[in-house]
Amino acid sequence: MYDLIIIGGGPGGVAAGVYAARKKMKTALITDSFGGQSLVSAGIENWIGTKSISGFDLAKNLEEHLRAQQGIEIMDGDLVAAVIKKDDGTFSITTKNGVTLETKNILLASGSRRKRLGVPGEDKFDGKGVVFCTTCDAPLFGGKAVAVVGGGNSALEGVEDLLQYASKIYLFVRSEVLRGDPVTQEKVKSHPNVEILWDSVIEEIKGEIFVNGVKYKNVKTGEEKDIPLDGVFVEIGLVPNSDFVKELVTLDPFGKVVVDHKTQQTSCPGIWAAGDVSDVLYDQNNISVGDSIKAVLNVYDKIKKS
């Protein structure tokens, strides 16, 4: 029986692991990989204490710091599949690899993942023209026409990444405004290779072996059209990784776990949440770290009292 199981290996999960180990709580941390969503960032300029660091190096530093702790059990390369609350108030956690662990307390630091479009063709052509890692795969679309979907910063940065490769970029925005940095907006709007399709949503991704076009609809006029293109870059935001606890804790309408922001406790005694999976107002690495530490200290207080 563990005192605490931490779910997640991003900045929040790792911070929690370091603190829990130093408090000598019997702890395990379960994660598929380290670094969280920042892993794929080319450069992070706001990680405090470091002027600039790649997501890859940040992930390595986090993993190294965690592995330097004594007494914490690290289960990487695995994911949580189910959490069950037992009658005595403790929990049973089952992983994708089929391991079952018993614990008194849980910290959810599972972050969020990319939202998918949910249209026909998206799954079929995943990796065959449908792209979820723009920085990874943009160079493969040299001289081609592509679609970027989304109106926020990640979509605009996706367009920026693609500008040096693609010959034509259609930016699909479901409303009539772009969010995201004004500077990037201007750059994207004024570039001759970029065509912004306002009020437009992709309804189907078409192709044979690879993507060869999309069907889209103007949501204002109802008009439907086809465009031939070779790639669809999906940058429409994030969904919290809270599915495996949705029966146990209160979620907000976006699927984020509702917490008491003083202690990070959820509606379910024994479960804490921090970082992007929680209903924190700002999804930031530095905030996830602080909130996760808050949670661990609160878990420790509870254990001491019992």
Partner 1 sequence: MAKVTIYSTPTCVYCKMAKEFFAKNNVSYEEFNVASDMKAREDMVNKSHQLGVPVIDIDNNIVIGFDQKTIEGLLGLKKA
Binding site for partner 1 (CB under 8 A): 33, 39-40, 42, 54-56, 77, 127-129, 131, 133, 135-140, 142, 209-210, 231
Q: How far is the CB of 140 from partner 1 (least distance, A)?
A: 6
Q: At what angle do helices 55-67 and 11-22 cross, to 10 degrees?
A: 20
Does an H or E element contain 141, and which? none
Nearest approach in angstroms of CB 180 to partner 1 is: 21
Separation between Cα atoms, residue 191 and residue 177, nearest integer Å: 17
Measured from the CB atom, the residue of 33 and 52 that comes closer to partner 1 is 33
Q: Which is nearer to partner 1, 79 or 196 (CB)?
A: 79
What is the H or E stretch that residue 83 is in? strand 80-85
User: How many C-beta atoms surround the C-beta of residue 79 within 10 A?
Assistant: 17
Q: How far is the CB of 198 from partner 1 (least distance, A)?
A: 28
Could you give the C-alpha distances from 209 to 95, 245, 265, in angstroms and in order? 34, 37, 48
The pair of structure tokens assigned to 21 is 């180990």
Q: Closest distance between partner 1 and the C-beta of residue 141, in Å?
A: 8
CB of 174 to partner 1, least distance (A): 25
Residue 124 or 261: which CB sits closer to partner 1? 124
Give me the least distance between CB of 56 and partner 1, in Å please: 5
Query: Which residue, 85 or 128, is less far from partner 1 as judged by CB?
Result: 128
The tokens describing 208, both together, are 């044979």
Residue with Cβ nearer partner 1 (207 or 270): 207
CA–CA–CA angle 41, 42, 45 (5° rounding): 85
CA distances from 226 to 55, 131, 175, 217 (A): 37, 19, 19, 9
| Residue whose CB is less far from partner 1, 157 or 279 | 157
Give residue 296's Cα distance to chain centre.
Answer: 22
Tell me if 156 sits within 8 A of 181, measured CB to CB.
yes
Question: Which tokens sit at 86?
Answer: 């037992």
Measured in degrees and rounded to the nearest 5, phi and psi for residue 116 equal -105, 160
CB of 151 to partner 1, least distance (A): 23
Given the complex with partner 1, which of 142 and 269 has the nearer CB atom?
A: 142
